[in-house]
């Protein structure tokens, strides 16, 4: 197969949702379909469950929060599907954001009883910003649910995107009988806990009197009315609107009961975008360019604490990636060869010889990579879109074991490269300050320093409102600013100037008084 064919058959996406809406369950069911040929029995499907719930880190097991963002690839109907898992917990929103830079589309899971929830709203903002095409799966229809039209209105309003139902529920909760698949014109009858693919019944017209035989008279009547309303209210599904990120097709189902998942997947591989061009500071990169390019969107500490090696997750943006070929690490200006790149398939992690745009490869790394690094065949380009955000939570970090100061320094250094948090060094007192977007990160850092680096840290409170990067063409004003705000100035890991404002008021005042200074709230500017 040539490069173009390999690109055409790839679909790389993430599933996002508010915790508990059913993301993990849906992921597992999709994997089940992906491996459907091999996995018939319950034993195997249990195994899949294990892979689906990413458990790289002990901390995650303890807390039951999916901290790690892992990758699951599978083959389905001649397509190569790559699911990038995202942590649902809001404290890891930054991790999720970075993962969203590596996907071409997104499936949003919404709980049919709860509707749109806070975390979904936030993540959708990122999709809107990036114009990522999204599909919606309304889950848990086997439970008493909100009215389907109300749910669609809610999605439209809260997620600020036009919607188009491509399936329609017949009842909900105790009266749930199944869905009418508008996209494929067929009827799917619900059976709880059925783990195999349901036979769908071809039904090009809901007005066909045979419908009553399947779902009864009153449900048929209601379905006909509602489908008529759907066709009246919503314009025909326009795939281009979806691909532009302006319209979300909506499916209904129950992931737990493996219901509606197959239709979702079939529609997904038909309409979801193939690997898309990516932007670098220098130029746009098309996936079908012959030369390989890719970027690191995630770094994962290895599970084995005795070996300090890590895995850098690289999204392939163009060309073919090959094992043992010399590639250029743009930031370091050095060449590297990778003898054991891994791919993540549903069942296992395995060494691969080649990978294509849309794929994610894991490169074993002993500390050469940081988030955002670009790898090429020699061209000096830098992929964009992986900023760090202004942290809002801060603590001084101190060494709690004087015998282990080297380990602590190394641990902090590597955790920051992984993007767990950001490190600032106060220019006033030289102390190290950790800044995060979520409170959990502090515990993660403490735990991992201890577990992986055998180092102990202690935190001390510091009262700050926000950190922002400052820059100015007016060097005199910048110097003046730095002198006056001496107490509040710090350097980030790259040595850039950071202003640590202790209140919103102070920040506002600074912005007013120093007109020539740019205050940046993401690290990419
Ligand atoms: P996540 O936090 O979004 O990954 O959600 P999970 O997949 O872990 O699901 C949260 C809970 O909802 C679990 O107890 C699931 O068994 C349950 N669940 C998931 N899908 C369904 C569904 O279709 N129907 C019902 N009744 N429960 C579901």
DSSP 437-505: SSTHHHHHHHHHHHHHH---EEEEE---SEEEEEEES-HHHHHHHHHHTGGGEEE-TT--EEEEESSHH
pTM metric for this prediction:
0.84
Q: Which fold has domain 393-520?
A: Alpha-Beta Plaits (3.30.70)
Lowest mean pLDDT: which of 54-63, 251-260, 474-483? 54-63
Consult the annotation and say whether 19 binds a ligand. yes
Confidence band for 308, pLDDT divided at 50, 70 and 90: low
Confidence band for 30, pLDDT divided at 50, 70 and 90: confident
First to last CA, the chain: 40
Confidence band for 39, pLDDT divided at 50, 70 and 90: very low
User: For a substitution probing ligand 1, which of 19, 20, 142, 257 has the most ligand atoms within 8 Å of its CB?
Assistant: 20
ipTM of the complex, rounded to two decimals: 0.99
> What percentage of residues in the chain have a pLDDT greater than 90?
62
Task: Tally the residues of the chain.
Answer: 525
pLDDT for 398-431, tens place per residue?
Answer: 999 999 999 999 999 988 988 889 999 999 999 9
Class of domain 3-70+104-271: alpha beta
Who has greater pLDDT, 71 or 149?
Answer: 149
- Is the distance from CB of 133 to CB of 243 less than 8 angstroms? yes
Q: Using the 8-state DSSP alphabet, how is residue 92 labeled?
A: G
Lowest mean pLDDT: which of 68-77, 436-445, 483-492? 68-77
Three-state DSSP at 179 gives strand
- Is the distance from CB of 106 to CB of 127 less than 8 angstroms? yes
Who has greater pLDDT, 451 or 46?
Answer: 451
Other C-beta atoms closer than 10 Å to the C-beta of 251 total 26
Same fold for the domain at 3-70+104-271 and the one at 393-520?
no
Rounded Cα distance between 279 and 284, Å, is 4
**CB of 20 closer than 6 A to ligand 1?**
yes
Rounded Cα distance between 115 and 105, Å, is 21
**CB of 110 closer than 6 A to ligand 1?**
no
- Tokens for 439? 């409170």
- Tokens for 207? 């007005």
Question: φ and ψ at 105, to 5 degrees?
Answer: -160, 175
**CB of 19 closer than 6 A to ligand 1?**
yes
**CB of 255 closer than 6 A to ligand 1?**
yes
Lowest mean pLDDT: which of 67-81, 105-119, 140-154, 266-280? 67-81
SS (H, E, C) 154-175: HHHHHCCCEEEECEEEECCHHH
Q: Would you call 151 exposed, middle or buried from its count of C-beta atoms within 10 A (0-12, 13-18, 19+)? A: buried
Rounded Cα distance between 356 and 3, Å, is 7
- Is the distance from CB of 359 to CB of 104 less than 8 angstroms? no
- When pLDDT is averaged across residues 497-512 and rounded to a whole number, the result is 95
pLDDT of residue 55: 37
Please say if the pLDDT value at position 306 is more than 90. no
Going from N- to C-terminal start, the domains of the chain cover: 3-70+104-271, 278-376, 393-520
Please say if the pLDDT value at position 40 is more than 60. no
- When pLDDT is averaged across residues 357-362 and rounded to a whole number, the result is 94
**CB of 22 closer than 6 A to ligand 1?**
yes
pLDDT of residue 303: 56
What atom in ligand 1 is closest to the CA of residue 27?
7
Question: φ and ψ at 310, to 5 degrees?
Answer: -125, 175
Q: Which residue has the tokens 């899971």?
A: 109
On average, the pLDDT of the chain sits at 87
Who has greater pLDDT, 348 or 168?
Answer: 168
Rounded Cα distance between 50 and 268, Å, is 24
> What percentage of residues in the chain have a pLDDT greater than 70?
89
pLDDT of residue 391: 87
- When pLDDT is averaged across residues 178-182 and rounded to a whole number, the result is 93
pLDDT for 478-489, tens place per residue?
Answer: 999 999 999 999
- When pLDDT is averaged across residues 494-504 and rounded to a whole number, the result is 94
**CB of 25 closer than 6 A to ligand 1?**
yes
C-alpha of residue 32 to centroid of ligand 1, in Å: 16
pLDDT of residue 400: 95
Please say if the pLDDT value at position 69 is more than 60. no
Closest CA to 317 of 291, 341, 298: 291
User: Which CATH architecture best describes the domain 278-376?
Assistant: 3-Layer(aba) Sandwich (3.40)
Other C-beta atoms closer than 10 Å to the C-beta of 11 total 23
Most confident of 92-101, 417-426, 498-507: 498-507
User: For a substitution probing ligand 1, which of 18, 25, 85 has the most ligand atoms within 8 Å of its CB?
Assistant: 25
Please say if the pLDDT value at position 467 is more than 90. yes
Other C-beta atoms closer than 10 Å to the C-beta of 401 total 15
Rounded Cα distance between 252 and 166, Å, is 9
Who has greater pLDDT, 24 or 297?
Answer: 297
pLDDT of residue 50: 35
pLDDT for 315-355, tens place per residue?
Answer: 999 999 999 999 999 999 999 999 989 887 655 667 889 99
């Amino acid at each position: 197969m040539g490069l173009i064919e390999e690109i055409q058959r790839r679909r790389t996406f993430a599933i996002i949702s508010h915790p508990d809406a059913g993301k993990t369950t849906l992921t597992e069911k999709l994997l089940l379909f992906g491996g459907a040929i091999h996995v018939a029995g319950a034993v195997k499907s249990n195994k899949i469950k294990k892979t689906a719930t990413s458990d790289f880190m002990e901390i995650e097991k303890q807390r039951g929060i999916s901290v790690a963002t892992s990758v699951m690839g599978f083959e389905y109907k001649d397509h190569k599907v790559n699911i990038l898992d995202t942590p649902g917990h809001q404290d890891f929103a930054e991790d999720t954001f970075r993962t969203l830079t590596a996907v071409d589309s997104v499936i949003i899971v919404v709980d049919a009883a709860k509707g749109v929830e806070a975390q979904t709203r936030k993540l959708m903002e990122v999709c809107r910003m990036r114009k990522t095409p999204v599909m919606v799966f309304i889950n848990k229809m086997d439970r008493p649910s909100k009215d389907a039209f109300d749910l669609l209105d809610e999605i439209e309003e809260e997620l600020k995107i036009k919607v188009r139902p491509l399936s329609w529920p017949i009842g909900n909760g105790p009266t749930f009988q199944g869905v009418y698949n508008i996209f494929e014109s067929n009827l799917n009858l619900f059976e709880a806990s059925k783990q195999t693919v349901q036979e769908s019944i071809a039904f090009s017209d809901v007005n066909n009197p045979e419908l009553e035989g399947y779902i009864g008279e009153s449900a048929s009547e209601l379905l006909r009315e509602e489908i008529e309303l759907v066709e009246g209210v919503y314009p025909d599904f326009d795939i281009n609107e979806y691909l532009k990120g302006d319209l979300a097709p909506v499916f209904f189902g129950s992931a737990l009961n493996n219901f509606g998942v197959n239709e979702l997947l079939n529609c997904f591989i038909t309409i979801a975008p193939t690997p898309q061009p990516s932007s670098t500071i220098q130029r746009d990169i098309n996936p079908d360019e012959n030369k390989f390019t890719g970027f690191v969107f995630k770094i994962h500490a290895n599970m084995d604490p005795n070996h300090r090696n890590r895995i850098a997750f690289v999204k392939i943006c163009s060309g073919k990636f090959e094992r043992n070929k010399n590639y250029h690490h743009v930031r370091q200006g050095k060449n590297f060869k990778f003898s054991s790149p891994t791919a993540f398939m549903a069942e296992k992690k395995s060494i691969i010889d080649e990978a294509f745009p849309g794929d994610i490869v894991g490169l074993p790394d002993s500390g050469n990579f940081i988030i955002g690094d670009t790898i090429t065949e020699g061209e000096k380009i830098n992929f964009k879109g992986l900023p760090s955000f202004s942290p809002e939570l801060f603590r001084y970090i101190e060494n709690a074991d004087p015998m282990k100061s080297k380990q602590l320094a190394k641990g902090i250094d590597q955790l920051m490269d992984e993007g767990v948090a950001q490190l600032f060094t106060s220019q006033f007192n030289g102390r190290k300050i950790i800044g995060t977007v979520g409170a959990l990160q502090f515990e993660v850092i403490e735990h991992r320093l201890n577990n992986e680096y055998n180092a102990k840290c202690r935190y001390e409170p510091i009262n700050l409102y926000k950190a922002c990067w400052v820059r100015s063409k007016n060097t005199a004003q910048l110097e003046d600013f730095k002198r006056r705000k001496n107490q509040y100035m710090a350097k980030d890991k790259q040595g850039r100037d950071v202003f640590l404002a202790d209140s919103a008021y102070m920040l506002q005042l600074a912005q007013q008084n120093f007109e020539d200074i740019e205050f940046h709230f993401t690290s990419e500017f």
